[in-house]
Each structure stands twice: as C-alpha cells, then as structure tokens.
C-alpha cells in the first residue's frame, strides 16, 4: 500500500507541506474553514504561501481539500499543523491541538502514524495528559 497523507490545518505550515508531499504522495488537506477550502479548490491561496500555479499543481497531482475528517479515513499518515497561539499570560492555547487530535482519533487505525508539526512544550502530546 502506498502511503496517503492527511495534512490537518492548511495555514502557513500545512499548505506548503501539503503541496510538497503532493508531488509524490496522495494527499488530503483538511481545514475547519469551508471558505478557505473552497478558495483552495479554485486555485486561490489568500495567505499567499502558494501561488495560484502551485495550488493548481497540487490539484493536478490529485490533492483533495476538505473540511470533513472522514475524507481522511484511507490515509495512514496524519500531520497536524494547527497553530498554538499564546494568551495574555504567554501560556499556550492548546484548544486547536486538542480538537484536531480528537478529530484524528476518530479515524485513526492500527499502525497509522501521527506527526505534530506545531510548537509545543515537552509532554503536550502525552495521550494520558491530553485526553485525560
């Protein structure tokens, strides 16, 4: 089986990563913003991380864009690239990381791989601590 990659979060890290992987792998790019997904499906990246040509190249390579985690059920590698903003006390807001982890957990299968491409402190991804 060839690897199929899900990129969770299509911001300044996730979208370029998805584009790069689409050259050699099947990729599903997932984001919670339907308007963003619609724009990407039409070849437009409002963040200007990718040119229109690069977005269209990704689509030509077979990349899918979606807001529905179930569109990633046939993926076996999940790369979570959601932001970890800090609050007024300089404490990280882990809400996007926790929500995306719960979503991935709904479709995760034995032997799948999850990679966190996010700035977090040591121990954040310890399942016992995150999921309680």
The tens digit of pLDDT for each residue in 70-94 reads: 999 999 999 999 988 888 888 788 8
Mean pLDDT of 104-117: 95
Domain boundary assignment for the chain: 4-131
Query: Percentages helix, strand, coil for the chain, rounded to the nearest 5?
Result: 35, 15, 45
Whose CA is closest to 72, among 126, 124, 100, 108? 108
Average model confidence (pLDDT) across the chain: 90
> Quick one: fold of 4-131?
Rossmann fold (3.40.50)
Provide the pLDDT confidence category of residue 125 given band limits of 50, 70 and 90.
low
Q: Which two tokens stand for residue 17?
A: 């990563």
Provide the pLDDT confidence category of residue 1 given band limits of 50, 70 and 90.
low
Is the predicted pLDDT of residue 131 greater than 60, yes or no? no
């Amino acid at each position: 089986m060839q690897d199929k990659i899900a990129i969770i979060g299509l911001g300044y890290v996730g979208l370029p990563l998805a584009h790069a992987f689409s050259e050699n792998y099947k990729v599903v790019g997932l984001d919670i913003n339907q308007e963003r997904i619609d724009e990407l499906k039409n070849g437009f990246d409002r963040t200007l991380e990718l040119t229109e040509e690069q977005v269209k190249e990704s689509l030509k390579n077979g990349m899918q864009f979606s807001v529905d985690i179930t569109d990633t059920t046939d993926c076996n590698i999940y790369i979570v690239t959601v932001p970890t903003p800090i609050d007024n006390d300089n404490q990280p807001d882990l809400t996007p990381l926790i929500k995306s982890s719960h979503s991935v957990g709904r479709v995760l299968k034995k032997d799948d791989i999850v990679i966190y491409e996010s700035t977090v402190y040591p121990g954040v991804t310890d399942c016992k601590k995150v999921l309680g």
